[in-house]
Amino acid sequence: MIKIEHLVKNYGSNCAVDDISFEVKKGEIVGLLGPNGAGKSTTMNILTGYLSATSGSVSVAGLDVLDNPLEAKKHIGYLPEQPPLYLDMTVEEYLIFNYNLKGCKLNRTRHLEEICDVVKIRDVYKRVIKNLSKGYRQRVGIAQALIGSPEVIIFDEPTVGLDPKQIIEVRNLLRNLGKDHTVILSTHILQEVQAVCDRIVIINKGKIVADELTENITRAVENNRRFSLKICGPQKEVLNMLRSKPGVVYAEVMPQRDGDAYCYTVESEVGVDIRKSLFYTLAEKNWPLVGMEALGMSLEDIFIAIVDQSAPKNRYERRERVRSGKGHSETQREIAKTLMDNAGKKQGGEYSALFGEEADKDSK
């Protein structure tokens, strides 16, 4: 449905989008993820024909956006970051204007009624947009994108500024739209992608650093090997025991205490379950185990790991992060690396090597 090939966009000497390629199939919901200024909005603006590309090609429904913009735009509904609303119009006038602007051929009254029901703006239909709350304005913006029921719908940060209830409503709406539209969605809220999207494309500094199905990422996240332990016993000896135990790659004492028990964080090797043997060892030494908890790893951790690895910050800052306990665990780094490698393969194998070099330089 959407095909982006070797897309490059330069603003003067500043490269906003650097050789991005990906494809979106019909009916897929894809989340574009990335920190601020990563190139998400630029990519979307090029996709919708608002900006041109420096090089590369973008096609929607088989039509090249740069060569044949008028036809291609007919297949796209777009909600920019700031909904493009005429504040002095009523919702009705605004939607009718959009209906005429897009040269829509469907039955007007019925079509607009349908859309109003979908985004739930029936009750403000006759009101002036200026007087609507942010949530309603956002919904009117979404309604605008749905007019003419385009095959491709592009949303740039659709849930920004909404209250939690509205966010959930918008997410449900997006999921429903995904049933018969192709949706691209940009965001920096990770739960949103996890909740809504079939596929996640992570962009950083204008490059794709990961491109993976959501379920794969979720599985990787759940395959968890970090535990927090609470053990009563002499701190140093316990720690030495933990570190010398086969299968353990990392063990550290945590600052918090629970009664006379100390807290520890332990990470095991891939594919090794150390929990049972750990229990027996502790029982043998008469050090009661009073708590064992799997440390959850969120998509967020992986995202930060990916973003950090793909664009390493200066060495000092990184060392500080590791010292203050904010560094990434082995697992996170591994998952991030795998994802990036996969994306690299999809992009023709150039990226993984590139990032490897960058990371090396950084560590030196």
Round to whole Å and give the CA distance between 99 and 92: 10
49 binds other proteins (CB under 8 A): yes
108 binds other proteins (CB under 8 A): no
289 has which bridge partners?
A: 231
76 binds other proteins (CB under 8 A): yes
138 binds other proteins (CB under 8 A): no
214 binds other proteins (CB under 8 A): no
Round to whole Å and give the CA distance between 242 and 233: 12
Q: Are 145 and 182 in contact (CB under 8 A)?
A: no
Round to whole Å and give the CA distance between 118 and 146: 10
Q: Which is nearer to other proteins, 62 or 84 (CB)?
A: 84
86 binds other proteins (CB under 8 A): yes
78 binds other proteins (CB under 8 A): yes
Round to whole Å and give the CA distance between 315 and 18: 25
DSSP-derived 3-state class of residue 7: strand
Q: How far is the CB of 160 from other proteins (least distance, A)?
A: 14
Contact pick of 6, 35, 50, 118 for other proteins (by CB under 8 A): 50
From start to end of the chain, where are the E strands?
2-11, 14-24, 29-33, 55-60, 63-64, 76-79, 152-156, 182-187, 199-204, 207-213, 226-232, 248-258, 261-268, 289-294
100 binds other proteins (CB under 8 A): yes
84 binds other proteins (CB under 8 A): yes
**Which listed range, 49-57, 172-180, 221-229, 356-364, lies at the site for other proteins (CB under 8 A)?**
49-57
52 binds other proteins (CB under 8 A): yes
103 binds other proteins (CB under 8 A): yes
Binding mask 154-193 for other proteins (x = CB under 8 A): ----------------------------------------
Neighbours of 26 (CB within 10 A): 12
80 binds other proteins (CB under 8 A): yes
Round to whole Å and give the CA distance between 113 and 130: 21
CA dist list (Å): 253 to 263, 291, 339: 6, 14, 30
Q: How far is the CB of 52 from other proteins (least distance, A)?
A: 5
- DSSP letter string, 220-262: HHHS--EEEEEEES-HHHHHHHHHHSTTEEEEEEEEEEETTEE
Q: Which is nearer to other proteins, 68 or 352 (CB)?
A: 68
Q: How far is the CB of 358 from other proteins (least distance, A)?
A: 30
Contact pick of 18, 23, 71, 92 for other proteins (by CB under 8 A): 71
Q: Which is nearer to other proteins, 71 or 362 (CB)?
A: 71
Q: How far is the CB of 83 from other proteins (least distance, A)?
A: 8
Helical residues (DSSP H) of 88-213, grouped into ranges: 91-101, 108-119, 134-146, 164-180, 190-196
Token pair 């592009």 is at which residue? 154
74 binds other proteins (CB under 8 A): yes
Q: Which is nearer to other proteins, 73 or 207 (CB)?
A: 73
Round to whole Å and give the CA distance between 161 and 167: 9
Binding site for other proteins (CB under 8 A): 48-52, 70-71, 73-74, 76, 78, 80, 82, 84-89, 93, 97-98, 100-103, 144
